[in-house]
């Protein structure tokens, strides 16, 4: 099996590229990010796409001889919505015929690749050490008030996730401060700080979400943003959330006195 990587923004695609470098003789990386050079040390062939050109992506994958694909990282929605003239006919067809939520769009993209014989595989399989376990992960457990906010946040997400939005919510005093939409978790955290200056973040995954892509992810930047916003607890879904740089992440959580809990 030769695995190609479509890399969006963030640290996750870099970690995947590093791991692929150790697992196979050569790797193709198709970068859709502003700093493709970050991936250059781990790619035998690096291709940059400035917009979702699936036709070229397929051509590159097949010419490289890859039979499998991992898709990871953020692709800003503004690329799809604001630059339609730069999309190829396949991407335009997907945009016209799919629901506009991330899950539906990514599912349609996966179908395009798999219909062409390229198997899309889950990235967590090659990074099992990044999967969040259950229970107390930080030295400090959540307080009784934080546990109440976690339970309330879970109820909110169980209502919003089936509607294909809101992987994360900020709760303070069993009231919703902010819920994640298109802007992503980091921007929601900053907004929560401006609105309340305190609270708990709960992050979960849609029950029927395809585990091959778009798993909830947290990392050092999440904690830095939480500290800046005055947020004191982070609850993530065990077995369905990736923790980037887990050792560094948990040490920083302890340094910041932020409680981490695996739901």
191: three-class secondary structure by DSSP: helix
**Residue spans per domain, the chain:** 3-125, 129-262
HSE of 116, CA atoms in CB hemisphere, 13 A: 22
Q: Is the pLDDT of residue 103 over 90?
A: no
**How many other CB atoms are found less than 10 A from the CB of residue 194?**
10
Q: Give the pLDDT band of residue 117 (cuts 50, 70, 90).
A: very high
Q: Give the pLDDT band of residue 83 (cuts 50, 70, 90).
A: very low
Neighbouring residues of 251: CB distance < 8 A, sequence distance ≥ 6: none
Mean pLDDT (the chain, rounded): 89
Neighbouring residues of 21: CB distance < 8 A, sequence distance ≥ 6: 27, 42
Q: Is the pLDDT of residue 119 over 90?
A: yes
Q: CATH fold of 3-125, please?
A: Rossmann fold (3.40.50)
**How many other CB atoms are found less than 10 A from the CB of residue 156?**
17
Quick one: 129-262 is in which CATH superfamily? Answer: LpxI C-terminal catalytic domain (3.40.140.80)
pLDDT digits (tens, 9 = 90+) for 123-160: 888 999 999 999 999 999 999 999 999 999 999 999 99
């Amino acid at each position: 099996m030769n695995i190609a990587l479509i890399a969006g923004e963030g640290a996750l695609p870099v970690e995947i590229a590093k791991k692929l470098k150790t697992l196979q003789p050569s790797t193709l990386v198709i970068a859709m990010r502003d700093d493709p050079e970050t991936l250059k040390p781990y790619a035998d062939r690096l291709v940059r796409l400035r917009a979702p050109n699936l036709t070229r992506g397929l051509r590159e994958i097949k010419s490289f001889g890859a039979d499998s694909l991992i898709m990871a990282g953020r692709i800003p929605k503004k690329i799809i919505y604001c630059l339609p003239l730069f999309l190829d006919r396949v991407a335009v067809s997907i945009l016209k015929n799919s629901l506009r939520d991330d899950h539906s769009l990514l599912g349609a993209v996966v179908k395009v690749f798999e219909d062409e014989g390229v198997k899309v595989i889950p990235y967590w399989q090659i990074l099992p050490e990044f999967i969040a376990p259950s229970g107390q992960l930080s030295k400090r457990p959540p307080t009784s008030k934080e546990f109440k906010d976690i339970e309330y946040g879970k109820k909110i997400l169980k209502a919003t996730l089936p509607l294909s939005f809101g992987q994360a919510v900020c709760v303070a005093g069993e009231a919703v401060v902010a819920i994640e939409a298109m802007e992503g978790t980091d921007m929601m955290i900053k907004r929560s700080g401006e609105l309340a200056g305190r609270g708990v973040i709960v992050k979960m995954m849609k029950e029927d979400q395809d585990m091959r892509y778009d798993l909830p992810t947290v990392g050092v930047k999440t904690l830095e943003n939480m500290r800046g916003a005055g947020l004191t607890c982070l609850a993530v879904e065990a077995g369905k959330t990736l923790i980037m740089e887990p050792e560094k992440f948990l040490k920083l959580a302890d340094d910041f006195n932020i409680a981490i809990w695996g739901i």
